[in-house]
């Protein structure tokens, strides 16, 4: 069973108490953007085989949304962090450099 | 290749079964093919079969990283139906269903197609309205379905408890010509027919890169060397995003795990297929007597081909109320497949940003039922370079243009 630690309330939460929210760090486009930008924002997903940054809600806990870094081929969790950020924190990317050398994520890396 | 027939069985019985041939060849890949198809699952093999049969294109290789039919084609609950709400979906799935009816003869391989009938149960008022609407839509589309009342549901499936306190049965959408088929045989039948036409099925060969020049595909790099091609078909279901990244474009897909399980075998007690979408469960009885149960998808991206246990628990718990007979059955096996889900829960069959590279993906939880139709439409797309009437609406650019084929309400979970 997938277990994530909520970065807000510190609880270890299993997946039955969480709600998955899909890919994280998506650039949100607004009025005046091109069709291509809207399509990328709403539909295009990296859906990688490997390192995935994603959104989760601690639905049956504190109710807050947070981010997690996880591997989609092994289900290994590399860490969770606050959603109030545009990119993953350094400790998570350092761990990724160590465990998954050569990892990539769209425009972030 | 020798034909399978009653006479062949008698002939082989008389000589200790020494004369059977291998069903398909295991060739060394050539340097170049007219068409290379990545993925020897149902849709990939069907695409190759109809390329040969309908368009005479037989210099074709089908490349598979594992073994043929070992992905979702060998992992589904084998349900075939075409009672979809939107016109393009109904046309495509009905084409597939009608091709299934004659497929055993077409490929000379018994796929055990069993048009035993499919009920989709309505267990909430919302579903009653939704399925009545679908029944009317199907009448206009020429797909034969009917709305039936709870008593008729009980007659068709006597083991069902229609008065459950949480999930009462309020009626159902009945498609008498729906049913099941032997899923492995569908892959094996197409593979044997493709091999017989001279096509090369290359198993244990993973694609590691897609080569292109000036925006046009030139070939693929594989673990068995480089293979050139004029046209490339990507038909890899859950791995579509992974392969499309090699080809240099992104897809509107997310890959998630979908699970199924079978019980111990019991005596025949149910001769139809029942789908209960409110509780995310669907049920049929296999020829061996096992109850075959399908569940819902997990919410998170996953490539591991195994799903979360709590989804199995939820499915079985909910089905127990409607099928009390299940409560004492032991479950024998449980497994998962990786399904590629689009935003509007409809597939993608179309051209890609890379020239001469075509894609068939996004079937989500309902690809098996569509295999012959999806293959037929993709073969037309690859042969002509432009989508035909079946595939037209399913193009990749529908997401940019807002032309969704919204099946998420009608069939989002239990395809």
The minimal CB distance from A39 to the residues B254, B299, B399 is found for: B399
Alpha carbons B195 and B49: distance in angstroms, whole number: 9
Contact yes or no for B303 and A49 at CB 8 A: yes
| Residue B126: closest CA among B65, B184, B167 | B167
| DSSP secondary structure letter of residue B355 | B
Q: Are B135 and B147 in contact (CB under 8 A)?
A: yes
Alpha carbons B119 and B114: distance in angstroms, whole number: 15
The minimal CB distance from A45 to the residues B254, B298, B304 is found for: B254
Residues from chain A that touch B309, judged by Cβ atoms under 8 A, are 1
Interchain contact B302–A (C-beta under 8 A) = yes
State the pairing for strand pair B79-80/B179-180.
antiparallel
Structure tokens at B385: 């370079």
Contact yes or no for B252 and A44 at CB 8 A: yes
Contact yes or no for A39 and B308 at CB 8 A: no
Alpha carbons B110 and B148: distance in angstroms, whole number: 32
Alpha carbons B149 and B46: distance in angstroms, whole number: 38
Chain region(s) in chain B for CATH 3.30.9.10: 118-178+255-342
Give the mutation candidate from A13, A47, A68 for the B interface (greatest B CB count, under 10 A).
A47
Contact yes or no for A2 and B400 at CB 8 A: no
**B204 Cβ contact list (under 8 Å, min separation 6):** B64, B65, B66, B67, B223
Cα A37 to chain centroid, rounded: 20
Contact yes or no for B254 and A22 at CB 8 A: yes
Q: What is the pLDDT of residue A92?
A: 95
Answer positive or negative: Cα dihedral of A15, B281, B305, B411. negative
Angle between helices B183-196 and B87-107 (to 10 degrees): 70
The minimal CB distance from A72 to the residues B299, B301, B310 is found for: B301
Q: What is the pLDDT along chain B (415 residues), one digit of tens a residue?
A: 889 999 999 999 999 999 999 999 999 999 999 999 999 999 999 999 999 999 999 999 999 999 999 999 999 999 999 999 999 999 999 999 999 999 999 999 999 999 999 999 999 999 999 999 999 999 999 999 999 999 999 999 999 999 988 889 999 999 999 999 999 999 999 999 999 999 999 999 999 999 999 999 999 999 999 999 999 999 999 999 999 999 999 999 999 999 999 999 999 999 999 999 887 889 999 999 999 999 888 889 999 988 888 888 888 888 898 999 999 999 999 999 999 999 899 999 999 999 999 999 999 999 999 999 999 999 999 999 999 999 999 999 999 998 999 887 554 444 4
Q: According to the 3-state scheme, what is the secondary structure of chain A?
A: CCEEECCCCCCEEEHHHCEEEEECCCCCCCCCCCHHHHHHHHCCECCCCCEEEEEEECCCCCCCEEEEEEECCCCCEEEEEECCCCCCCHHHHHHHHHHCCCCCCCCCC
Burial-class residue B159 by CB neighbours within 10 Å (0-12, 13-18, 19+).
Answer: middle
Q: What is the pLDDT of residue B411?
A: 47
Alpha carbons B377 and B388: distance in angstroms, whole number: 7
Give the mutation candidate from B339, B400, B402, B408 for the A interface (greatest A CB count, under 10 A).
B400
Interchain contact B255–A (C-beta under 8 A) = yes
Residues from chain B that touch A45, judged by Cβ atoms under 8 A, are 241, 250-254
pLDDT digits (tens, 9 = 90+) for A22-35: 999 998 898 999 98
Contact yes or no for B253 and A45 at CB 8 A: yes
The ipTM is 0.93
Interchain contact B254–A (C-beta under 8 A) = yes
Phi and psi at residue B303, in whole multiples of 5°? Answer: -120, 15
Q: Which of residues 306 through 325 in chain B touch A, CB cutoff 8 A?
A: 308-310
Chain region(s) in chain B for CATH 3.50.50.60: 27-109+183-251+345-411
CATH code: domain B27-109+183-251+345-411 is 3.50.50.60
The minimal CB distance from B300 to the residues A20, A40, A49 is found for: A20
CATH code: domain B118-178+255-342 is 3.30.9.10
Alpha carbons B193 and B48: distance in angstroms, whole number: 10
**pTM of this structure:** 0.94
Structure tokens at B149: 């009342």
Contact yes or no for A73 and B399 at CB 8 A: no
**What's the CA angle centered on A15, arms A11 and A16, to 5 degrees?**
100
> In chain A, what are the domains?
10-99 (3.30.2270.10)
Contact yes or no for B301 and A39 at CB 8 A: no
Q: What is the pLDDT of residue B412?
A: 44
A-B C-beta contacts closer than 8 Å: 69
Share of chain A above pLDDT 90, in %: 83
Rg (chain A; Cα; Å): 14
Give the mutation candidate from B300, B336, B399 for the A interface (greatest A CB count, under 10 A).
B300
Residues from chain B that touch A2, judged by Cβ atoms under 8 A, are 300, 308
Alpha carbons B159 and B263: distance in angstroms, whole number: 16
**B388 Cβ contact list (under 8 Å, min separation 6):** B377, B380, B381
Contact yes or no for B309 and A1 at CB 8 A: yes
- B233 Cα to chain A: minimum distance (Å): 20
């Amino acid at each position: 069973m997938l277990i994530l630690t909520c970065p807000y309330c510190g609880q270890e939460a299993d997946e039955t108490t969480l709600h998955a929210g899909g890919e994280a760090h998506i650039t949100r486009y607004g009025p005046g953007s091109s069709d291509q930008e809207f399509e990328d924002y709403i539909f295009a997903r990296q859906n990688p085989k490997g390192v995935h940054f994603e959104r989760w809600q601690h639905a049956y806990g504190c109710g807050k949304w947070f981010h997690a870094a996880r591997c989609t081929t092994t289900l290994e969790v590399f860490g969770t962090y606050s959603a109030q950020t545009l990119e993953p924190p350094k400790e998570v990317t350092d761990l990724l450099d160590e465990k998954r050398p050569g990892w990539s994520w769209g425009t972030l890396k | 290749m020798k034909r399978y027939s009653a006479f062949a069985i008698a002939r082989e019985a008389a000589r200790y079964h020494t004369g059977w041939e291998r069903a398909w060849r295991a060739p060394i890949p050539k340097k170049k093919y007219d068409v290379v198809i990545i993925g020897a699952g149902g849709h990939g093999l069907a695409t190759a079969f109809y390329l040969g049969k309908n368009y005479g294109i037989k210099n074709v290789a089908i490349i598979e990283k594992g073994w043929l039919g070992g992905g979702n084609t060998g992992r589904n609950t084998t349900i075939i139906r075409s009672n979809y709400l939107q016109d393009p979906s109904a046309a495509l799935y009905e084409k597939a269903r009608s091709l299934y009816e004659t497929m055993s003869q077409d490929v000379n391989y018994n796929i055990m197609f069993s048009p035993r009938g499919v009920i989709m149960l309505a267990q909430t008022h919302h579903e009653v309205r939704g399925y009545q609407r679908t029944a009317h839509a199907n009448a206009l589309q020429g797909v034969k379905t009917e709305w039936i009342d709870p008593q008729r549901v009980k007659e068709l499936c006597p083991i069902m408890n229609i008065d459950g306190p949480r999930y009462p049965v309020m009626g159902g959408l009945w498609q008498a010509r729906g049913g099941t088929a032997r899923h492995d045989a569908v892959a094996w039948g197409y593979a044997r027919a493709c091999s017989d036409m001279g096509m090369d099925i290359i198993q244990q060969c993973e694609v590691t890169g897609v080569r292109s020049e000036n925006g046009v595909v030139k070939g693929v790099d594989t673990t068995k060397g480089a293979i050139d091609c004029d046209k490339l078909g990507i038909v890899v279901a859950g791995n579509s995003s992974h392969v499309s990244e090699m080809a240099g474009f992104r897809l509107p897909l997310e890959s998630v795990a979908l699970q199924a399980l079978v019980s111990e075998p019991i005596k025949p007690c149910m001769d139809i297929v029942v789908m209960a979408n409110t509780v995310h469960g669907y049920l049929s009885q296999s020829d061996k007597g096992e109850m075959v149960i399908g569940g819902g998808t997990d919410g998170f991206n996953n490539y591991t081909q195994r799903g979360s246990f709590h989804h199995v628990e939820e499915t079985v718990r909910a089905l127990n109320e409607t099928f009390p007979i299940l409560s004492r059955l032991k479950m024998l096996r449980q497994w998962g497949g990786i399904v590629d889900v689009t935003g509007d829960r409809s597939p993608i069959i179309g051209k890609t940003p890379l020239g001469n590279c075509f894609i068939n993906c996004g079937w989500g939880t309902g690809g098996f039922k569509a295999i012959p139709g999806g293959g037929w439409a993709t073969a037309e797309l690859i042969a002509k370079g432009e989508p035909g009437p079946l595939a037209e609406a399913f193009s990749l650019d529908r997401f940019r243009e807002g032309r969704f084929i919204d099946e998420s309400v009608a069939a989002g979970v239990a395809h």
